């Protein structure tokens, strides 16, 4: 009888142990990297306009450096009116003050007039945009009124309010409201029908539809109108103050002209341009935040 020996199965080879994963802690970026990014941003966004402005000032100086020129050169402006740039907030009297205070006075009027124009314009535009027939009916009227120059409204406002301050605010309001109304109505008309269907399914009230659907969807159009409106408002207040007086930047220009101080006028124009640019950037920044970067 043959006995067959049973063979034990060979032991399985041990599975290889997974290699240990080394987790590296990211090192904080060095200050040199931050400085490099800031330098690149400056080269991209700051250096080009600085070079253009320097070139224009150099050309201006070369053209007017000769004596007998009717307009002052940049060097003459700095020599005669540089204190208006270096000291914008000095006060030496009721009419002897820095241009910073005058700009703030004008900005106060612009803030009131433009704020009213934005509130009323968005409300009217939202209502008009809901109806095609209403929009077709009032659009020709709005197109006619928006072409009226700001100063053409000043005699009417002076006759109505009998005071220069509310008259100037009314001129700002009536000048800035038209682009806000027109753009808001266009934005409401451009809201997709799917959004309206969702609002109907959720049974949103008119107020909820306005805040939750209409304003976010029409925000690019609304803020495009606001940017146009704030630019027109700043133009209107400067023109209105030339005739109504006061301590605003517009009256300063008119007073400097009567005093034959052309260098002061050029400095005031610099303040006006810088302030208008800042207002436009501010409205654009708010619009980008509200519309999440989709502002037109």
Q: For the segment 144-187, what is each residue's pLDDT rounded down to a tens digit?
A: 998 898 889 999 999 998 888 899 999 999 999 999 999 999 98
Q: What pLDDT was estimated at residue 214?
A: 81
Q: Which two tokens stand for residue 150?
A: 């700001």
Across the chain, mean pLDDT equals: 83
Judged on CB neighbours under 10 Å (0-12, 13-18, 19+), 284 is middle
How would residue 216 be classed by pLDDT, with cut points 50, 70 and 90? Answer: confident
Comparing CA positions, the residue from 231, 261, 255 lying closest to residue 243 is 255
Q: What pLDDT was estimated at residue 6?
A: 44
Judged on CB neighbours under 10 Å (0-12, 13-18, 19+), 13 is exposed
In order of 17, 25, 27, 246, 290, the CA distances from 22 in angstroms are: 15, 10, 15, 72, 43
273 contacts: CB under 8 Å, gap ≥ 6: none
Tens digit of each residue's pLDDT (9 = 90 or more) over 58-88: 888 888 877 677 888 888 889 888 888 888 8
Asked if pLDDT for residue 1 goes beyond 50, the answer is no
How would residue 224 be classed by pLDDT, with cut points 50, 70 and 90? Answer: very high
Distance CA(7)–CA(159), nearest Å, equals 119
At residue 91, the 3 state secondary structure works out as: strand
241 half-sphere exposure, CB direction, 13 A CA radius: 26
Lowest mean pLDDT across 223-232, 235-244, 268-277? 235-244
How would residue 8 be classed by pLDDT, with cut points 50, 70 and 90? Answer: very low
CATH architecture entry for 84-290: Orthogonal Bundle (1.10)
Distance CA(192)–CA(249), nearest Å, equals 45
Domain boundaries, the chain: 84-290
φ and ψ at residue 97, rounded to 5 degrees: -145, 165
Taking the CB of residue 156, how many other CB atoms lie within 10 A of it? Answer: 13
């Amino acid at each position: 009888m043959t006995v067959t020996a049973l063979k034990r199965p060979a032991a399985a080879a041990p599975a290889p142990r997974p290699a240990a994963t080394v987790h590296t802690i990211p090192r904080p970026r060095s200050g040199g990297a931050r400085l490099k990014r800031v330098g690149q941003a400056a080269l991209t966004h700051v250096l080009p306009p600085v070079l253009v402005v320097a070139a224009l000032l150099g050309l201006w100086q070369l053209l007017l450096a000769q004596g007998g020129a009717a307009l002052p050169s940049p060097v003459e402006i700095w020599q005669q009116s540089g204190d208006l740039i270096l000291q914008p907030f000095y006060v030496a009297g009721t009419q002897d003050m820095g241009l910073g205070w005058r700009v703030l006075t004008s900005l106060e009027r612009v803030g009131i007039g433009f704020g009213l124009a934005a509130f009323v314009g968005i409300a009217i535009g939202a209502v008009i945009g809901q109806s095609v027939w209403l929009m077709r009916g009032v659009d020709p009227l709005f197109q006619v009124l928006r072409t009226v120059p700001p100063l053409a409204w000043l005699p009417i406002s002076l006759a109505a309010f009998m005071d220069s301050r509310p008259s100037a605010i009314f001129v700002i309001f009536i000048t800035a409201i038209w682009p806000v109304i027109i753009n808001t109505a266009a934005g409401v008309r451009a809201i997709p029908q799917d959004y309206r269907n969702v609002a109907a399914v959720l049974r949103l009230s008119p107020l909820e539809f306005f805040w939750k659907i209409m304003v976010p969807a029409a925000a690019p159009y609304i803020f495009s109108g606001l940017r146009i409106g704030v630019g027109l408002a700043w133009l209107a207040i400067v023109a209105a103050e030339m005739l109504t007086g006061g301590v605003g930047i517009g009256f300063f220009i008119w007073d400097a002209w009567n005093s034959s101080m052309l260098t002061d006028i050029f400095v005031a124009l610099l303040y006006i341009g810088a302030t208008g640019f800042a207002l436009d950037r501010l409205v654009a920044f708010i619009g980008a935040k509200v519309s999440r970067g989709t502002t037109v």
